[in-house]
């Protein structure tokens, strides 16, 4: 079941809606067609309706200058290319393409105005699926090709929020789509450091201090980055300071496989993450500073292709060719 209400006007006067998805068990997910943002995800517990994502109640809170100044991309769809591209440079047919460098000297999350700040066309299918579409024109943020993008949100009666991605292009172009929700499964938004996290891999991408991959896959077995056995996030945080790493699972898969599990301190609520993507960017939110939300108030679990993939042939997934279909799926399943 999906309800829709007006959510406000953009500065350009475009009308934006908020869509509420519900399942038979009382879960609700609220999504706006501005940036495809997941603004709210609540589940019914015996004594409360618990909110588990960081978000706001109005469009203005997502568009004001103060929020954008230290922009955390709360709950947004990210594209045309999520994560980082080294110095914003990619090479196609022996020619360099300079993408915007909006994060110091590097490109981040699609550039100055990425998919997270676009108004998507929304359609409701079978009163259960919210389909968002966006045509990114040739040359937008200096990316080549017209990219037709489709994202479908679906909330199932198995308490699973599914996100289905699809894209096609008429010119070869870098593509890496993801969803940038921050989760906090506790009964407050003070900190996720007491959450328990498990990640089903012993590999991450080796990166420099600015989180640009070297191209090497680093074995983290028995290191501070090893989450194969579930552990409290803050166990090694004094030494790590903040996790912001792409955990690597190898090749993409045709159907989603479980890659991670997050639980609140008491194990009252657990969320399983399953995806077809080869990577999971885990960001523990040290630098969050947005309204009522502060440092470590949420953890982002962003299933995606590898960052800077267009510059590393061994990473795959960096380029989309005409005639190919980019297709991925990520599921967030709640157990409570």
> 64 a known binding residue?
no
What is the Cβ-side half-sphere exposure of residue 58, based on CA atoms within 13 angstroms?
7
Q: Which of 180, 195, 272, 328 is catalytic?
A: 180
Give, in order, the Cα–Cα distances in Å from 311 to each of 102, 219, 323.
18, 21, 22
DSSP symbol at 240: H
Q: Which of 107, 195, 302, 328 is catalytic?
A: 302
Contact 231, 196 (CB under 8 A): yes
Q: Alpha-carbon distance 14 to 193, whole Å?
A: 39
Which residues make Cβ contacts (< 8 Å) with residue 29, sequence separation at least 6? 20, 21, 38, 40, 41, 153, 155, 161
Catalytic site includes residue 160: no
Residue whose tokens read 């706001």: 56
Catalytic site includes residue 190: no
Angle at 236 between CA 294 and CA 308, to 5 degrees: 70
> 142 a known binding residue?
no
* Count of Cβ atoms closer than 10 Å to residue 119 Cβ: 18
Pair type for strands 28-32 and 38-45: antiparallel
> 84 a known binding residue?
yes
- Asked if residue 80 has a cis previous peptide bond (ω within 30° of 0), the answer is yes
Identify the CA nearest to 274 among candidates 253, 243, 298: 253
> 167 a known binding residue?
no
> 244 a known binding residue?
yes
Q: Please list the active-site residues.
A: 180, 302
Which residue numbers belong to the known binding site?
83-84, 180-182, 244
Which residue numbers belong to the known binding site for beta-D-galactose?
83-84, 180-182, 244
């Amino acid at each position: 079941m999906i309800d829709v209400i007006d959510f406000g006007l953009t500065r350009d006067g475009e009308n934006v809606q908020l869509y509420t998805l519900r399942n038979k068990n009382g879960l609700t997910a609220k999504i706006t067609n501005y940036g495809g943002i997941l603004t709210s995800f609540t589940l019914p517990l015996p004594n409360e309706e618990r909110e588990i994502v960081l978000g706001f109640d109005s469009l203005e809170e997502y568009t004001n200058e103060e929020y954008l100044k230290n922009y955390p991309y709360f709950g947004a769809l990210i594209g045309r290319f999520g994560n980082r591209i080294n110095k914003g440079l990619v090479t196609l047919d022996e020619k360099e393409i300079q993408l915007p460098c909006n994060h110091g000297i590097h490109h981040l999350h699609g550039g100055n105005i990425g998919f997270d700040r676009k108004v998507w066309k929304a359609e409701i299918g079978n009163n259960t699926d919210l389909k968002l579409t966006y045509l990114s024109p040739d040359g937008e943020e200096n990316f080549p090709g017209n990219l037709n993008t489709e994202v479908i949100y679906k909330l199932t009666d198995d308490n699973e929020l599914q996100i289905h991605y699809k894209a096609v292009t008429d010119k070869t172009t870098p593509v890496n789509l993801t969803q940038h929700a921050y989760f906090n499964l506790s009964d407050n938004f003070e900190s996720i450091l007491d959450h328990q996290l498990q990640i089903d891999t012993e590999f991450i991408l080796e990166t420099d201090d600015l989180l640009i991959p070297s191209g090497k896959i680093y074995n983290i077995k028995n290191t501070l980055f090893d989450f194969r056995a579930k552990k409290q996030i803050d166990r090694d945080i004094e030494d790590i300071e903040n996790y912001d790493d792409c955990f690597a699972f190898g090749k993409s898969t045709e159907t989603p496989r479980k890659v991670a599990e997050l639980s609140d301190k008491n194990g009252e609520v657990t969320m399983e993450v399953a995806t077809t993507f080869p990577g999971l960017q885990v960001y523990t939110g040290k630098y969050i500073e947005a309204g009522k939300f502060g440092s470590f108030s949420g953890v982002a679990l962003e299933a995606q292709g590898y960052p800077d993939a267009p510059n590393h042939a061994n990473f795959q997934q960096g380029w989309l060719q005409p005639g190919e279909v980019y297709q991925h799926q990520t599921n967030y399943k709640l157990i409570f």
